Amino acid sequence: MSDQEKSVGVLGAGTMGSGIAIVSARAGFKTILVERDKETLDKGLDLIDRFFVKSVKKGKMTPEQKDLVMKKNLIGTLKYEDLTDCEFVIEAVFEDLETKKQVFCQANEVCPPETIFASNTSTLSVTSIAADSGRPDRTIGVHFCLPAQVMKLVEVTRGIQTSDETYDRTMEFGKKLNQVFVTTVETPGFILNHFIVAFNNSCIKAYEEGLASVEDIDKAIKLGLGYPMGPFELLDYIGMDTQLQVSLALFEQVQDQRFWPPPLVRRMVDAGHLGRKTGKGFYEYKGAGMFGA
């Protein structure tokens, strides 16, 4: 079968799920985006469409290519039964072990035996997620970096029971997605979050203590270290709710104070200043949404 004839399922139409759906559909795969309620699904599809509209304006794709991706390659649904032809099913739901287990259990009831289940978890054990999936040997971790539709990096993590065939097929899948897949062992935070979560917390703490302004810290990191984005720009992309959640999850597992979120993180979450998704974070944005500016 050609890539255009194969299907990829994406569970969850939030920030990560919508971004992963963009990557898959843009690469030519028929992409089934599954959500549990129509409001969330419609919001995700709208955000995806807005991203491609911007891509056309920037000359990165033609209007015809956009129409092909949105009308042929991308399907939104509330039914798990629509996953029956998927070669890969990628979950991108809330970073909660029971929630991830639940969606894979539902997918396992309708997907053929050869379908690979891939978890986008950034902090949880792939082995634990796979345990109740019905196919632990065909379950693997694929952590897309946010924003998935812009960043190339994907961390691939094998659980204890992940088979060699599953790993090999996943790495080949990465090439077809035009992403860069790197392999990491099953450890809290994998590669990226092991460094970036603690680093971002340190930057927030420095700002809290009056070291420098948000803007100047971002400029220093970009110009001094060569980063494409400053830590506060990145945090506004990630979302302060996500930073809080991931920080607490990592701290619970490793008991390292570097991962404990500074007080400002909780205050911003309580105030609804989550970043781009709400229109205000460390910076203000004209329009709310994960692709808004």
Residues 170, 198 share a domain: no
Residues 198, 77 share a domain: no
The pLDDT score that the predictor gives to residue 78 is 98
Number of domains making up the chain? 2
Residues 93, 173 share a domain: yes
The pLDDT score that the predictor gives to residue 290 is 56
| Domain with 58 in it | 3-184
The mean pLDDT value of the chain amounts to 94
Residues 209, 96 share a domain: no
Residue 235, pLDDT > 70, answer: yes
Residue 284 placed within a domain:
no
Show the CA angle centred on residue 225, arms to residues 290 and 150, nearest 5°: 25
Residue 85 placed within a domain:
yes
Residues 224, 202 share a domain: yes
pLDDT tens for 209-218 read 999 999 999 9
Residues 131, 51 share a domain: yes
Structural domain ending residue among the three candidates 184, 218, 241: 184
Q: Report, as an integer, the average pLDDT of 223-247.
A: 94
Structural domain ending residue among the three candidates 156, 184, 212: 184
Number of other CB atoms surrounding residue 266 within 10 Å: 13
Q: Report, as an integer, the average pLDDT of 44-67.
A: 94
Q: Report, as an integer, the average pLDDT of 132-136.
A: 95
Residues with a catalytic annotation lie at 122, 143, 155, 193
Residue 184, pLDDT > 80, answer: yes
Q: Report, as an integer, the average pLDDT of 198-225.
A: 98
The pLDDT score that the predictor gives to residue 286 is 86
Residue 1, pLDDT > 50, answer: no
Residue 293, pLDDT > 50, answer: no
Residue 250 placed within a domain:
yes
Residues 20, 116 share a domain: yes
Q: How many Å apart are CA 168 and CA 246, to the nearest integer?
A: 29
Residues 217, 159 share a domain: no
Return the exposure string of 64-103: e unless at least 16 CB atoms fall within 10 Å of the residue's CB, then b.
eebeebeeebbbbeeebebbeebbbbbbbbebebeebbeb
Residue 293 placed within a domain:
no
Q: Report, as an integer, the average pLDDT of 274-283.
A: 94
The pLDDT score that the predictor gives to residue 164 is 98
Residue 225, pLDDT > 70, answer: yes
Q: How many residues does the chain have?
A: 293
CATH number of the domain enclosing 171:
3.40.50.720
Q: Report, as an integer, the average pLDDT of 148-168.
A: 96
Residues 145, 40 share a domain: yes
- Residues sharing a CB contact under 8 Å with residue 169, sequence separation 6 or more, in sequence order: 116
Structural domain ending residue among the three candidates 149, 184, 219: 184
Residues 233, 98 share a domain: no
Residues 224, 138 share a domain: no
- Banded pLDDT at 277 (limits 50, 70, 90): confident
Residues 49, 71 share a domain: yes
pTM: 0.89
